[in-house]
Amino acid sequence: MPKTIEHLFANNKQWSEHMREEDPEFFSRLVKQQSPEYLWIGCSDSRVPANQVVGLAPGEVFVHRNIANVIVHTDLNALSVIHYAVDVLRVKHILIVGHYGCGGVKAAINDVSTGLTDNWLRHIQDVRDRHLDQLGQIEDSAMRADRLCELNAMHQVVNVCQTSILREAWQRGQDVSVHGWCYSLQDGLVRDLGVTSRSREEAMDRYAEISASSC
């Protein structure tokens, strides 16, 4: 017999009641308007829940997720999210969040075929190929994949900063920063990769400096 999803409705009801008990005004506030200061661009991995990782409530983080947190200049889905976050919601921080142990990165670094997703993972392999010398010096395969997780997140910071959306926002003096992070499933902690940028040029310089060093 197929497994049903009725328990999800029960879970939802329990959660709704719990939230109202803790904060009677929670839903009335939530329905009025979303005004988050953060856009989270992360991996679709079910083990990395954006709000919970940084301890923020619903309505405080605008979220976009895809396989291995990649931003491609032809991806209208991602660009639309960034545009809405920057131009409409006026977020102050864009968080590019990779995570150690990412399955997409592991598949990319080891040339494991996954079918259609291979075309998406090619973007990560491009990052890998830019840093073959550095990655080749890391003997442990898990550590090598984790370093690529970091390099990929840093590279996506550059990609976001190069979009017309961010360049135009900075030209008009808008206060928005782009950050590169990596989350650990082992301890639940986020690591700042040191590539926070407030311009296209700063992003490229920070990426060149930090990505060249071993971590």
- Annotated catalytic residues are 43, 45, 47, 99, 102
**What's the length of the chain?**
215
| Euclidean distance between CA atoms 52 and 127, whole angstroms | 29
User: Considering only CA atoms, which of 148, 206, 137, 198 is closest in space to residue 173?
Assistant: 198
Task: State how far Cα 9 lies from the chain centre.
Answer: 29
| Euclidean distance between CA atoms 158 and 166, whole angstroms | 11
| Euclidean distance between CA atoms 191 and 146, whole angstroms | 12
> Which residues lie closer than 8 Å to 139 by C-beta, 6 or more apart?
none
- Whole-angstrom CA distances from 126 to 108, 143, 182 are 9, 19, 19
User: Could you count the other beta carbons within 10 Å of the beta carbon of residue 95?
Assistant: 24
Task: State how far Cα 6 lies from the chain centre.
Answer: 31
Block residue for tokens 């990929």: 152
Q: DSSP label at 69? A: S
